[in-house]
C-alpha cells in the first residue's frame, strides 16, 4: 500500500484488515491499463457494490429519521443524497481525489478532479469498507462523515437542479439558459455524456452523466454551486 493510503486511514480513523481492498477502491482503470505487470485491479466492481450499500444505508437512515415522510418523499430525498453532485461534495470534503491512482493520460487531462471519477471513488470506498468490516462499520462512517452534512430534518431536498437554476436565473434576470451536449465518450454500453449550461455567452457549469438528461442535471448543479446557491 502506498504511503498516502496509510495517511488516509489515519485521517479517517479506520484500519483496513485487507489493505488491498482499499488500494483497489482508489485505483482507476487508466492506472491498471498503464501498469499491466502485477496484480492491479480497478475500482469498478467495488463501485457497483458500494452503490447498492449506499442505497440501503441511506434508505434505512431516512426511514428512521423521517417517520412522517411518505414513500415518494423518501425516494426523492434518497435520490438527492446519492446523486453524483452530492457524492462529489462528500468525496471533496474527505479529499479523496488526492489519493486516487491514475494513469498519466487521465492525470494530465484533470481526471483527479473530474466529478464522475470522484463520485465513483466514494462509492468504491464504501464497497471496500463493507467487504472489509461489514455494514455496521459503514453505518458508523456515514454517521460521522455523510449524515451530519445533510440538511435540517425539516427541509426536503429536490433533485431537479435544472428547475432550481431556471428559477434562480429568472429571479436575477440573468437571461435564457441553454444546455449543450459537448462530448460523448466511452463504449456504447458505458456511454458518458458531457453537458454545459450557458446563460447568454457565459458558461455557468459543466457536468457528466450516463444519459443526456443526467449530464444536464449535473451541469445545472455545478452552475448552482458556482453561483453560491446551496444545493445540499
Backbone angles phi, psi at 89, to 5 degrees: -60, -45
Contacts of 181 (CB under 8 A, 6+ apart): 193, 194, 195, 212, 215
Q: Is 47 annotated as a binding residue?
A: yes
CB 197 within 8 A of CB 215: no
Q: What is the C-alpha to C-alpha distance for residues 14 and 10, in angstroms, rounded to an integer?
A: 7
Q: What is the C-alpha to C-alpha distance for residues 33 and 37, in angstroms, rounded to an integer?
A: 10
Q: Is 120 annotated as a binding residue?
A: yes
* DSSP track, 83-113: SHHHHHHHHHHTTGGGG-B--HHHHHTTGGG
Q: Is 123 annotated as a binding residue?
A: yes
Strand ranges in the chain using DSSP code E only, listed in sequence order: 177-185, 192-199, 202-209
Active-site residue list: 51, 123
Annotated binding site: 47, 120, 123
Amino acid at each position: 500500500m502506498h504511503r498516502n493510503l496509510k495517511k488516509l486511514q489515519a485521517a479517517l480513523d479506520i484500519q483496513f484488515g485487507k489493505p488491498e481492498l482499499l488500494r483497489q477502491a482508489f485505483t482507476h482503470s487508466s492506472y491498471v491499463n498503464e501498469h499491466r505487470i502485477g496484480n492491479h485491479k480497478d475500482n469498478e466492481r467495488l463501485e457497483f457494490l458500494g452503490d447498492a450499500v449506499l442505497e440501503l444505508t441511506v434508505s434505512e437512515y431516512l426511514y428512521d429519521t423521517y417517520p412522517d415522510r411518505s414513500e415518494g418523499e423518501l425516494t426523492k430525498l434518497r435520490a438527492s443524497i446519492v446523486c453524483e453532485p452530492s457524492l462529489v461534495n462528500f468525496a471533496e470534503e474527505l479529499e479523496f481525489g488526492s489519493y486516487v491512482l491514475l494513469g498519466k493520460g487521465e492525470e494530465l487531462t484533470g481526471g483527479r478532479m473530474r466529478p464522475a471519477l470522484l463520485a465513483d471513488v466514494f462509492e468504491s470506498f464504501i464497497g471496500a469498507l463493507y467487504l472489509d468490516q461489514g455494514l455496521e462499520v459503514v453505518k458508523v462512517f456515514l454517521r460521522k462523515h455523510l449524515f451530519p452534512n445533510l440538511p435540517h430534518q425539516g427541509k426536503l431536498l429536490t433533485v431537479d437542479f435544472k428547475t432550481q437554476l431556471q428559477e434562480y436565473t429568472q429571479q436575477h434576470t440573468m437571461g435564457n439558459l441553454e444546455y449543450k451536449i459537448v462530448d460523448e465518450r466511452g463504449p456504447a454500453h458505458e456511454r458518458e455524456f458531457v453537458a454545459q449550461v450557458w446563460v447568454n455567452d457565459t458558461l455557468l457549469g459543466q457536468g457528466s452523466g450516463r444519459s443526456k438528461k443526467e449530464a444536464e442535471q449535473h451541469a445545472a448543479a455545478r452552475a448552482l454551486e458556482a453561483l453560491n446557491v446551496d444545493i445540499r
